[in-house]
């Protein structure tokens, strides 16, 4: 692996993504790389939740956006407290499109993604992960 300058970390609010954050912080401290922590307000999830009818589309988006930001700022605080360099970013869309695009735009050297048990049992999440692996312009570290 070449020297790391930029790590794109996909934070998806799962327990595995907390472990992915730990890996990113560790690598950042070793290499001096900047972590770009990205949460995607996932349109797949918005659509799935909207189908239940319990909440409106707008309510679901507000909830996911706020949860995403809260998670991002918690991650940022953890990284900065450890002395790692990090910036946070939230976008709405599909992770399989957003993550490779940001990795390309920011010339990332590594993408770190969580791929836990829940994701591996959900066909939409499996396809999304496969596309991230396929389209990322650099190496991908999968945290299980």
Residues that bind other proteins (CB under 8 A): 34, 36, 62, 65-70, 73-74, 76-77, 79-80, 83-90
Beta bridge partners of 35: 7, 86
Cβ nearer to other proteins, comparing 39 with 128: 39
Shortest CB 5 distance to other proteins, Å: 14
**Residue 111 dihedral angles phi and psi, to the nearest 5°:** -110, 135
- Beta-carbon contacts of residue 42 (< 8 Å; ≥ 6 apart): 12, 64, 93, 94, 95
Cβ nearer to other proteins, comparing 46 with 142: 46
DSSP classification of residue 2 = P
Cβ nearer to other proteins, comparing 106 with 110: 106
Shortest CB 43 distance to other proteins, Å: 16
């Amino acid at each position: 692996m070449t020297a790391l300058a930029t790590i794109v970390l996909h934070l998806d609010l799962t327990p595995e993504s907390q472990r992915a954050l730990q890996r990113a912080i560790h690598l950042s401290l070793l290499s001096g790389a900047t972590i770009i922590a990205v949460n995607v307000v996932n349109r797949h999830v918005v659509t799935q939740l909207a189908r239940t009818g319990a909440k409106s589309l707008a309510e679901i988006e507000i909830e996911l956006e706020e949860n995403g930001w809260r998670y991002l700022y918690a991650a940022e605080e953890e990284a900065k407290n450890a002395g790692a360099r990090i910036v946070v970013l939230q976008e709405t869309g599909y992770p399989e499109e957003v993550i490779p695009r940001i990795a390309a735009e920011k010339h990332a050297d590594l993408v770190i993604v969580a791929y836990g048990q829940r994701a591996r049992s959900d066909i939409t999440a499996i396809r999304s992960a496969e596309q991230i692996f396929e389209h990322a312009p650099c190496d991908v570290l999968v945290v299980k």
